[in-house]
Amino acid sequence: MAQAKKIKKGDQVIVITGRDKGAKGEVISVDAVNKRVLVQGINMVTKHEKPSQVTPGGKAKKEISIHISNVALADPKGGKATRVGFKVLKDGKKVRVARKSGETIG
């Protein structure tokens, strides 16, 4: 589960392999147990939904999760894919840092 700590909800990620390779998006949710992430606009599929009182039903496009190993964090400085490291600040707070640029990830 170490990899799930490196990517969190709200992070900008780049897909590094698969059908959507090179696409960027924001992480909507992280499933740490199954090591999967849901990224906005990535891995879109057509779902056939049954009509209900709220929705009319029919075909709907939605995202499905992608394995966490298939995405990389986007560097806050350059926007390219980067690995994630950890650094302990002088006040004792542990923060994530982009390995490529050394920027702190907020």
Q: What is the pLDDT of residue 99?
A: 93
| 71: in domain | yes
Structural domains in the chain (count):
1
Asked, for residue 89, whether it belongs to a domain, the answer is: no
* pLDDT for the residue 5: 85
Q: The tokens 């992608």 sit on which residue?
A: 66
Domain that holds residue 18: 2-76
* Residue whose pair of structure tokens reads 């992070």 in the numeric block: 11
CA distance 38 to 13: 11
- Domain of 68, CATH number, reads 2.30.30.30
Q: Residue 92's pLDDT is what?
A: 93
- Asked if residue 99 belongs to a domain, the reply is no
Provide the 8-state DSSP code for 70. G
Q: What is the pLDDT of residue 106?
A: 75
- Predicted confidence at residue 4, as pLDDT, reads 63
Alpha-carbon torsion, ordered 33, 36, 38, 39, to 10 deg:
140
- pLDDT tens by residue, the chain, 106 residues: 566 689 999 999 999 999 999 999 999 999 999 999 999 999 999 999 999 999 899 999 999 999 999 999 999 998 899 999 999 999 999 999 999 999 998 7
The answer to whether residue 84 sits within a structural domain is: no
Cα gap 83→19, rounded to integer Å: 21
